[in-house]
Amino acid sequence: MYSTCFNNECFSTFDAEMEQIKKDFLEIKNAMDVFIADESNFEKLEQAGRLMCNVIGKGGKIIACGNGGSLCDASHFAQEMTGKYREDRSPLPAVAISDPSFITCVANDFGFDHIYSRYVEIIGNEGDILLVISTSGNSENVVNAAKKALEMGIHVVGLTGNNGGKLAELCDLELRAPATGYPDRAQEIHLKIVHILINYIERNLYK
C-alpha cells in the first residue's frame, strides 16, 4: 500500500533525490555509450534500414510484436510508419500485433505462446519483415513468431537485450542493447533504434 502522507517528512531529502535522478540519467548514458562504442551496431542498423527500404519498395510490409513495454515500442514503430515521423509523406506499410480481441481469442483457444505466430501466419507473406522486440530475447510468443516467420520466408529483425536469448539464433539481423540488469535500459535503447530506423526509411524512400 502506498503512503498517504504528503508532507515533506515523507520524502527523501531534496539532495538525495536529485542525486538519484542524476544517477538514473547517467545509467541511460552509460548504456548508450556502450552501444555506441560497438561499431558493428551501426553496420547492422544500416543493413536493417536498407532491408526495410528494399522490402517496402517491392510491395512488402513490416509486422512488429513484443510484450509489455516492447509492445508499446512495436506500436510506436507502426504508428510512426503509417502516420509520419519527421516529414510529410505517404503512409508506410507497417502493423503492430496489438488487437486485444485477436490476442485474447488466440490466448484463450491456443495459449499465450501462440498469439503472435498465428497473426504472422495470417497476414505475413514471403519477403515481408517481422520486427521482434524482447529485452530478454526469450519471450516464447515472440520466439514462436520468429520461427513461423522463418518458415514462411519472412525476414526477422530483432531488438534484444542481455545475451540475446533464443531470438539471437533466429534473427537475420539482431540489434542488442547492453546488459544492465534492468529491462527499462534496454527499452530506452530500443526506442532510439526505432526512431533511427524510421528516419533512415524516410530519408531513403523519399529523397
Condensed to tens digits (0 to 9), the pLDDT of residues 112-168 reads 999 999 999 999 999 999 999 999 999 999 999 999 999 999 999 999 999 999 999
Q: Residue 188: CB partners within 8 Å, gap ≥ 6?
A: 28, 31, 32
User: What backbone phi and psi angles, to 5 degrees, belong to 160?
Assistant: -130, -175
What DSSP state is assigned to residue 90? -
Question: Strand pairing partners for 95?
Answer: 63
Question: Strand pairing partners for 62?
Answer: 94, 129
Condensed to tens digits (0 to 9), the pLDDT of residues 8-33 reads 666 667 778 889 999 999 999 999 99
Enumerate domains of the chain plus CATH numbers.
39-205 (3.40.50.10490)
pLDDT of res. 65: 98
Three-state SS for 32? Answer: helix
Determine the Cα–Cα distance for residues 8 and 98; give it in Å rounded to an integer.
42
